[in-house]
Amino acid sequence: MKKKEPAITREDVVRTLVGQRRPAVCPAGSAFAPSNIALCKYWGKRDEELNLPVTSSLSIALENLGSEITLKPCTKWDRISLNGKLLASDTTFVQRATAFLDLFRPAPDFFFDMRAKNSIPTAAGLASSASGFAALTLALNELFGWKLNRRALSILARLGSGSACRSLYGGFVEWHAGAARNGMDSYAEPLDAVWPDLRLGLLLLSEKEKPIGSRHAMQQTRATSPLYAAWPAQVERDLAALKTAIRNRDFAALGRTAEANALAMHATMIAARPAILYWLPSSLAAMRKIHQIREEGVKVFFTMDAGPNLKLLFLRKEQALLTAAFPELRVVTPFGR
């Protein structure tokens, strides 16, 4: 019988990338990372420990909306604050941040003062964990003087939150699923493409923390949904279609594919046992309104991550009409004005 290979841990990955680099601790490390919205979704892991995805994915960054983190050495214990509020150690935010920081402590008695600012709601399906862990990774790189390249930093950020690997960049970003057991070929890189007229509209319907986190929802979906078996092939087709649409600046193809991909992801969740449903009545009402506007000739599409909030895709020429239809819409220009 073939001997089973030992599992690869997050600590193994960290040792590979930064183990030989002696930390030269600076007074502080600060960084900003944008949130990102997946146009072709990441949903399901082939390795839970290393956050290795079943499929590749493709996203677009939210320009200046995301997370800013400042790290300083601290005595006695970690101090972690969010938007100016010191958080208790039993909060999910602190527990996840601490578990990630544990991977990089130079000594057991080394502690961090971590100050985070989010310009988007936390844990509401707007990829705050992606921008948060990306910014935290960049701040660690500055604090310890690692001088790692973006690919290595993308891999490290992925250990905190899978989609964080995409928040190391602006614009369109592809996360390669990879095939290696140690995940060294699973990283994100930007597409060489800009689309100045493209707009994203954030339709914030709820700022409440979602009832089930993405990590657990992915596990439950992959383990119990009869629709999940078709998901990898769907992603492969959608990813190819999106890259072609971006290359040709075919907005209709981009929007159709992104919307269909999001709905397919949510369908796999709804079919899980028990069902996972992030939609609110206001989510469904907004979808119907978008469909109606589109039937009237306006090219607008939507995408949704694991949460109730919608993100609209449209071109600059449609902005005035859509902000009139959705007065609460927050418009993002991913590639400048």
Q: What is the CATH number of the domain that holds 94?
A: 3.30.230.10
Q: Is residue 4 part of a domain?
A: no
Mean pLDDT (whole number) for 2-9: 80
| Percent of residues, the chain, with pLDDT higher than 70 | 96
Mean pLDDT (whole number) for 99-125: 86
Backbone dihedral angles phi then psi of residue 198, each to the nearest 5 degrees: -75, 140
Q: What is the pLDDT of residue 24?
A: 75
Q: What is the pLDDT of residue 128?
A: 80
Terminal CA-CA length for the chain: 62
Q: What is the pLDDT of residue 22?
A: 65
Q: Are 161 and 20 within one domain? A: yes
Q: Retrieve residue 117's tokens.
A: 């600012």
* Reported confidence tier of residue 211, pLDDT bands at 50, 70, 90: confident
Cα 286 from Cα 326, distance rounded (Å):
9
Q: Are 124 and 179 within one domain? A: yes
Q: What is the pLDDT of residue 40?
A: 98
Q: Is residue 3 part of a domain?
A: no
Q: Are 183 and 214 within one domain? A: no
Q: What is the pLDDT of residue 121?
A: 65
pLDDT, mean over the chain: 94
Q: What is the pLDDT of residue 124?
A: 46
Q: Is residue 5 part of a domain?
A: no
Is residue 54 a contact partner of residue 44, using CB atoms and an 8 Å limit? Answer: yes
Mean pLDDT (whole number) for 99-128: 84
Q: Are 186 and 202 within one domain? A: no
Q: Which structural domain, as residue segments, surrounds residue 174?
A: 10-190
* Reported confidence tier of residue 48, pLDDT bands at 50, 70, 90: very high
| Boundary residue ending a domain (141, 166, 190) | 190
Return all residues near 245 (Cβ < 8 A) that are at least 6 apart: 251, 253, 254, 257
pLDDT(10) > 60: yes
Q: Are 292 and 221 within one domain? A: yes
Q: What is the pLDDT of residue 310?
A: 96
Q: What is the pLDDT of residue 126?
A: 52
Q: What is the pLDDT of residue 3?
A: 65
pLDDT(327) > 70: yes
| Boundary residue ending a domain (190, 216, 244) | 190
Q: Are 184 and 264 within one domain? A: no
| Boundary residue ending a domain (148, 174, 190) | 190
pLDDT(314) > 60: yes
Q: Is residue 228 part of a domain?
A: yes
Say which residue the tokens 């209709």 belong to. 252
CATH number of the domain enclosing 299? 3.30.70.890
Q: What is the pLDDT of residue 19?
A: 84
pLDDT(263) > 80: yes
* Reported confidence tier of residue 125, pLDDT bands at 50, 70, 90: very low
Q: Are 41 and 138 within one domain? A: yes
Count of domains observed in the chain: 2
Q: Is residue 1 part of a domain?
A: no
* Reported confidence tier of residue 336, pLDDT bands at 50, 70, 90: confident
Q: What is the pLDDT of residue 1?
A: 54
Q: Is residue 177 part of a domain?
A: yes
Q: Are 81 and 170 within one domain? A: yes
Q: Are 179 and 204 within one domain? A: no
